[in-house]
Structure 1
Amino acid sequence: MKAVIFIIDGLGDRPNKEGNTPLKEANTPTMDKIAKEGICGIMNAVDIGVRPGSDTSHLAILGYNPYEVYTGRGPFEACGVGIDVKEGDIAFRCNFATVDENFVVLDRRAGRIKETEELARELDGLEIDGVKVIFKQSGGYRAALVLRGDGLSDKITDADPKKEGRKVKMIEPLDDSEEAKRTAEILNKLLKIAYEKLNNHPINEERRKKGLPVANMILPRGAGKVPYVQKFEERYGLKGACIAGTGLIKGIAKMAGLDLIEVEGATGTPETNFMGKAKALVEALKEYDFILINVKGADEAGHDGDYETKKIVIEKIDEMLKYFIENVDKDEVYLVLTGDHSTPIEEKDHSADPIPIVIWGRSVRTDDVEKFDEFSTYKGGLGWIKGKYIMPILMDLMGLANKYGA
């Protein structure tokens, strides 16, 4: 038996005035078929009432305790884009952003700029006060930053103000250590250098001519040291792989020892290569026992408050799932279909609202749920579960769980 955990990033939502969500209103015949043939429920990846990040959610869903292994988003982001993070490095997740001359953030994602590789090279390899700067683009407006040198700390605040119309935050130490003070000073210097190097870069000059937001600032956040993460195969005895378009999810997978399957055009955006990922998933099951697949576009639309795009992305994912169930043997593969968190249109951010979940495959106890959405699956046989239960349930279904007791 094999298993797939299919994560629709940011899937869940809250009802609008008409009582609808993008998922409820979307045309999803395949998701509904899976719900009818599977066992349904709702899930909070980390815990009830906790607004999780995509990183902590995925760790929990894979069976790792995020409260033990999560030090910050940065190490996973850096690992995922291919930076060879070393012991003592401090890693950050970054956005390219648009700011005015007073460092007021006008667009936290610089108009979702795509052409950032050349901009990233302007910062990569810099040295500030004896500390090396490693900077790499990780897909569109996203990037990863690593500081390498002596006397550094991850006990510092973020630069990201989280909302437009606010100034880039001065980075401050979170404790009284000299290492934290030094790291904050270096990062504040880097932000000024970034503005000087990027503001009048030819790519940004061209964007100004077109009336597009420029990428003239970086917003580091999620500082952390590289954690120890037990290898997935060692933990479960399953040879695993991951299909994802974003550096963060790739980084989590790499740290867990999952092989990365690259798909051309997999961008982590609403314009990703949906069917390319579906075909790669089916093909990967010939070699691997376990696949984690993440499709990001619905989350992007949620953060943008774009109801229609989120609905369209969900419908495209339904087509992916149609290809999947038509090309696998239900008697040989278990599918967990769910999200990692809710990203409500009204919030434009993650929330603690639970997410629909269904488990589909041989000998699964079905229930009377007939539609896959936030208002239907809660009636299913799984009830309300946490992400940490997914892998134990799969291991039991696959006949690989150890008996507890005599």
Structure 2
Amino acid sequence: MKYVVVLGDGMADRPIEELGNKTPLEYARTPMMDQLAAEGEIGMVHTIPDGMKPGSDTANLSVLGYDPRKYYSGRSPLEALSIGVDMKDTDIALRCNLVTLSEEESCYEARKIIDHSSGEISTEDAAVLLNAVREELETEGYKFYTGTSYRHLLIWEKGEVVDLVQPHDVLGQTIGQHLPEDKMLREMMKKSYDILVNHPINIERKKQGLNPANSCWFWGAGTKPALSSFEEKTSKKGAMISAVDLLKGIAVGSSMKVIHVEGANGGLDTNYEGKAQAAVDVLTKDGYDFVYVHVEAPDEMGHQGSVERKVKAIEYLDERLIRIIKEGLDAFGEAYRMLILPDHPTPICIRTHSSENVPYLLYDSVNKEQHHWKYNEADAEKSGKLIAHGHELIDYLFADQQI
């Protein structure tokens, strides 16, 4: 038996008036997922433990079977594992986004955050900009590390886990009240603006109508993580496919294989087909039992507030990834089970994460059923099935029987 999780990050949403009061998942054309739902089962799952912030960190830990209340030590330390940073027990890791701030105001505190991802800036351009920040601001106690696209890392030696605001939670808002209370972190963010605002890359980006990456934004502070081995925990040899350092870091921390796919970039134009083929290959050629395929695009489109692009991301996921995986595994001939779900909602109306239950779809290539369900939030709610603790969902996937 082979096992697949396809995780459409932030895919769940709330009804949208311009879509006829349907969610993007309801509105999108998803014949493959709807077929799997009609032959499998759907339901709702609570991936964010009560009282914890809704994020891809806690939610993906849940889906992989790691109870966030036990294993979560912060988002950035997981990303540090992916980047290859050897954290000391006294280190604090912080996410360092390259963001777009408004530029017409006279002081830093009065600026507004326009874009948490600087127009999904390329890793190549971001690396140049981060290096400019590094040359001016890096000290013995504060080290910068390049990640992917707008997502980078700051290691604070002998630091503390301070409360920091996620940039996508305050889009369009004046930043003054959301800046770090820690004086050094606050000052570094302000200085990063002075370093980046007139950098040649940003001047060129503005000429091209692109959002400049004109400030660092620190958030997600945490300590060195300690995850148990996925294989020892589940008796399944697992692999991870994702463009995002967070997911790759979870894989490194849990001793899963990390598969790098050329052209996988975490955006709407990611290499869906390459990810799908890599998933099929690791199961059918490399002898792995389990693969986790993470696609960031629906979440990014939710943060952008783009209804059209979020619908398109879901349709791409269906046609260009899930269909290819199903056809590849069907051709291989061994029985398999596939679990499809979001980690959390990223509603267009708020442009950030929320904690509502999300719909799951569980398909078994051998034990097929016949239903009238389609895969969306409304039908999953109507099914009456609810998994109250997200970290228990993977046990159902491996149970080889219907819930």
**Partners of 2:392 and 2:36 in 1: CA distance:** 20
Whichever residue aligns with residue 118 of structure 1, its letter is: V
Q: Which of 71, 77, 81 is equivalent to 2:73?
A: 71
Q: Which of 102, 106, 119 is equivalent to 2:107?
A: 102
Whichever residue aligns with residue 131 of structure 1, its letter is: G
**Partners of 1:156 and 1:345 in 2: CA distance:** 26
2:174 corresponds in structure 1 to 166
Q: Which of 130, 154, 158 is equivalent to 1:145?
A: 154
Identity of aligned residues (%): 34
Where do 5+ consecutive residues of structure 1 fail to align? 173-183, 400-406
- The 1:374–1:54 alpha-carbon spacing in structure 2 relative to 1, beyond 3 Å, is same
Q: Which of 322, 330, 344 is equivalent to 1:341?
A: 344
Count of residues in correspondence between the two structures: 385
**Partners of 2:165 and 2:5 in 1: CA distance:** 32
Residue deviations 1:84-119 (CA, integer Å, cap 9, x gap): 333322111121122335221342332332221111
- The 1:139–1:129 alpha-carbon spacing in structure 2 relative to 1, beyond 3 Å, is closer
2:238 corresponds in structure 1 to 240
Question: Which protein is richer in helix relative to its size?
Answer: 2
Instruction: Note if contact 1:369-1:379 (Cα within 8 Å) is conserved in structure 2.
Output: no
Considering only aligned residues, what root-mean-square deviation do their CA atoms show, in Å? Answer: 2.4
1:134 corresponds in structure 2 to 144
1:88 corresponds in structure 2 to 90
1:19 corresponds in structure 2 to 21
**Partners of 1:125 and 1:252 in 2: CA distance:** 30
**Partners of 2:335 and 2:377 in 1: CA distance:** 28
Corresponding residue SS for 2:148: coil
- The 1:378–1:365 alpha-carbon spacing in structure 2 relative to 1, beyond 3 Å, is farther
Corresponding residue SS for 2:249: helix
Cα shift at 1:124:
3.6
The TM-score with structure 2 as length reference comes to 0.88
Alignment of 1:3-402 (within 5 A): 3-17=3-17, 18-47=20-49, 52-99=54-101, 100=103, 101-103=106-108, 104-107=111-114, 108-114=116-122, 115-124=125-134, 130-136=140-146, 138-147=147-156, 149=157, 151-158=158-165, 160=167, 162-168=170-176, 169-172=178-181, 184-286=182-284, 287=286, 288-319=288-319, 320-329=321-330, 331-364=334-367, 366=369, 368-380=371-383, 382-397=385-400
Mean alpha-carbon deviation: is it higher for 254-263 or for 199-208? Answer: 199-208
Corresponding residue SS for 1:112: coil
Mean alpha-carbon deviation: is it higher for 350-359 or for 187-196? Answer: 187-196
Instruction: Note if contact 1:159-1:171 (Cα within 8 Å) is conserved in structure 2.
Output: no
Instruction: Note if contact 1:369-1:377 (Cα within 8 Å) is conserved in structure 2.
Output: no
**Partners of 2:163 and 2:135 in 1: CA distance:** 22
Whichever residue aligns with residue 64 of structure 1, its letter is: Y
- The 1:23–1:273 alpha-carbon spacing in structure 2 relative to 1, beyond 3 Å, is same
- The 1:374–1:219 alpha-carbon spacing in structure 2 relative to 1, beyond 3 Å, is same
